[in-house]
Amino acid sequence: MPSLIDFRRRIRSVKNTQQITKAMKMVSAAKLRRSQEAVVAGRPFAGMLQRMLANVAGAAAGNDSVKEHPLLQQREQKKVLVVLVSADRGLAGAFNSNVNRGAQKFMQELPGTEFEIEAVGKKGRDYFRRRGYTIAGDHQNFSRKPNYGDVAAVAKKVSARYASGEVDAVYLAYNEFKSVMTQQFRMVRVLPVPLPEGEASTDYIYEQPAEELLGSLLPRYVEIELWRSVLESTASEHAARMTAMDAASRNASEVIERVTLQMNRVRQASITREIIEVVSGASALK
Amino acid sequence: MAATFELEVATPDRLIVREQVAEAQVPGKDGYLGILPDHAPLLTELGAGALTYTVGGASHTVMVGGGWMEVLPASVRILATVAEKPNEIDLKRAQGALDRAEKRLKESGAMDIPRALAAADRARARLAVAAEFGR
């Protein structure tokens, strides 16, 4: 039977943990709001680029120099690079294992293909390094305050490796921010650039030849896709951590309640025992 | 009401302008373009320079560091790689960048000439926009 002191100690320790989880929840909530704003702020550019790319691709379709563009080369997928966007830190519920497992499943479904990992975020890097995958690149501290220049540099490196034929395709793996409660794993191909199908809807005047315009838009597309996935992933990370820490705080409350109840029972029992002892002692004297 | 069109300027991390404007002067890759409402559809690459637009008689300027533009009769969308309002421009940094780029151009050698030229253009555009605003 644990003594009263043991109970008190346990309650104090759980309370301490709860304070930490509560603080982490508040911090994540504040960061979440900021990163959500960043996701929203990045949408107009991404949307406009998509539309423009579709139009230009339609206009330039059939042109030979388009088919030969280094970022559009379809090759047999022998060696594939996966850009894995995860968090640098844990304690975010299923956030990291979601990306890691999702990406691993994807790779296991394509046996015979060689994979390399370009890791953005420490957790993904560690997971795949432990499992013996090749880590082609390792980038950290992106999610603290996403910086376009840093992300663009990764995109350039990846594009260059693809253009030179070192890798045959590039995929992005990240958690998409659906809402505060749900984040969804996504795996999308960015290279070769999946050109939107369909005819050009408007008959544009082109200052430059359409294929030249396309050539300047394509590298930007890779940058933007990666940038967006980093923003989405950052928002997801904070949302996941906030939810996880909220659950942890509530669990702690439950534990405290239960232990307090047990402690009071033990206290009652000992008081009752003492009374019985006193009463029976007194009656023995009669 | 005078005819207007919608002007949107977006950079990868934010939407910087979204307004009904009467007129816009845009730094095209090969020289400035004037856009009025009901312009024919046009797609073009942009160079570094000052984007000027008129809202209700008042003129505004934004520094654009290259990008693309889509013109439709009722709207103009600009995708800028960088864009800054006059009060956001860091004068010292722009001047420093210009000096560095010019130095690199003089040394030439095996340096990346197009990149230095682009950097110089961006810096000049920043300085010009800032100067126009009396900073």
Q: Is the pLDDT of residue B84 over 90?
A: no
Distance from CA of A206 to the nearest CA of B (A): 5
Contacts of A210 in chain B (CB under 8 A): 43
Across the interface, do A49 and B77 touch by the CB < 8 Å criterion?
no
Q: Specify whether A172 is located in the same domain as A82.
A: yes
Joined together, the tokens standing for residue A196 give 């939107």
B109: Cα within 13 Å, side-chain hemisphere: 5
ipTM of the complex: 0.75
The residues, any chain, with a CB within 8 Å of residue A21's CB and separated by 6 or more, are A245, A248, A249, A252
Q: Specify whether B14 is located in the same domain as B43.
A: yes
Longest dimension (CA), chain B: 57
Q: Specify whether B61 is located in the same domain as B112.
A: no
Q: For residues A58 and A160, what is the distance between their CA atoms, to the nearest angstrom?
A: 25
Across the interface, do A45 and B44 touch by the CB < 8 Å criterion?
no
The pTM (predicted TM-score) of the whole model is: 0.83
Q: Specify whether A194 is located in the same domain as A248.
A: no
Exposure letters A127-149 (e unless 16+ CB within 10 A, then b) = bbeeeebeebbebeebbeebebe
Q: Specify whether A40 is located in the same domain as A137.
A: yes
At A267 the pLDDT is 92
* Residue A210 belongs to domain with CATH number: 3.40.1380.10
From the list B12, B30, B43, the residue facing A204 with the nearest CB is B43
Domain that holds residue B31: 5-84
Q: Specify whether B76 is located in the same domain as B102.
A: no
What domain count does chain A have? 2
Chain B contact for A45, CB < 8 A?
yes
Domain that holds residue A170: 30-242
What residue has token string 């659906």? A178
At B82 the pLDDT is 86
At B134 the pLDDT is 66
Q: Specify whether A146 is located in the same domain as A112.
A: yes
Q: Specify whether B97 is located in the same domain as B48.
A: no
At A241 the pLDDT is 93
DSSP for A156-203, written as a single string: HHHHHHHHTTS-SEEEEEEEEE--SS-EEEEEEEEES--PPPS--SS-
Q: Specify whether A15 is located in the same domain as A64.
A: no
Q: For residues B57 and A245, what is the distance between their CA atoms, to the nearest angstrom?
A: 53
Joined together, the tokens standing for residue B5 give 């069109």
Please say which residue of B84, B102, B119 terminates a domain.
B84
For B41, name the nearest residue in chain A, comparing CA atoms only: A204
What domain count does chain B have? 2
Q: Specify whether B14 is located in the same domain as B79.
A: yes
* Residue A266 belongs to domain with CATH number: 1.10.287.80
Q: Specify whether A131 is located in the same domain as A39.
A: yes
At A95, which helix (H) or strand (E)?
Answer: helix A95-108
Q: For residues A3 and B83, what is the distance between their CA atoms, to the nearest angstrom?
A: 68
Q: Specify whether A58 is located in the same domain as A148.
A: yes
At A35, which helix (H) or strand (E)?
Answer: helix A4-60
Q: Specify whether A80 is located in the same domain as A133.
A: yes
Q: Are B58 and B25 in contact (CB under 8 A)?
A: no
The residues, any chain, with a CB within 8 Å of residue B116's CB and separated by 6 or more, are B101, B104, B105
At A62 the pLDDT is 65
Q: Write the pLDDT tens digit of every residue in B1-22.
A: 468 899 999 888 888 889 899 9
Across the interface, do A227 and B42 touch by the CB < 8 Å criterion?
no
Q: Specify whether B71 is located in the same domain as B21.
A: yes
For B43, name the nearest residue in chain A, comparing CA atoms only: A206
Q: For residues A271 and A208, what is the distance between their CA atoms, to the nearest angstrom?
A: 92
* Residue B113 belongs to domain with CATH number: 1.20.5
Show the low-confidence residues of chain A (pLDDT under 50): none
Q: Which residue has the higher pLDDT, B77 or A70?
A: B77
Give the burial class of B3: count Cβ atoms within 10 A of its Cβ; 0-12 exposed, 13-18 middle, 19 or more buried.
exposed
At A1 the pLDDT is 66
Q: What is the mean pLDDT of chain B?
A: 83
Q: Specify whether B96 is located in the same domain as B75.
A: no
Q: Specify whether B66 is located in the same domain as B108.
A: no
Q: Specify whether A272 is located in the same domain as A137.
A: no
Q: Specify whether A155 is located in the same domain as A178.
A: yes
At A40 the pLDDT is 87
Q: Specify whether B65 is located in the same domain as B109.
A: no
Across the interface, do B43 and A56 touch by the CB < 8 Å criterion?
yes
- The amino acid that residue A129 corresponds to is R
Q: Specify whether A60 is located in the same domain as A132.
A: yes
At A50 the pLDDT is 84
From the list B12, B41, B44, the residue facing A45 with the nearest CB is B12
- The amino acid that residue A68 corresponds to is E
Q: Specify whether B77 is located in the same domain as B95.
A: no
Q: Specify whether B99 is located in the same domain as B119.
A: yes
At A279 the pLDDT is 93
Q: Are A19 and A11 in contact (CB under 8 A)?
A: no
Q: For residues B127 and B97, what is the distance between their CA atoms, to the nearest angstrom?
A: 11
Phi, psi for A76 (deg, rounded to 5): -65, 135
At A46 the pLDDT is 86
Q: How many CB atoms sit inside 10 A of residue B38's CB?
A: 10
DSSP state of A5: H
Q: Specify whether B107 is located in the same domain as B41.
A: no
Give the torsion through C-alpha atoms of B98, A218, B36, B32, to 10 deg.
Answer: 30
Q: Specify whether A117 is located in the same domain as A258.
A: no
At B100 the pLDDT is 80
Distance from CA of A213 to the nearest CA of B (A): 7
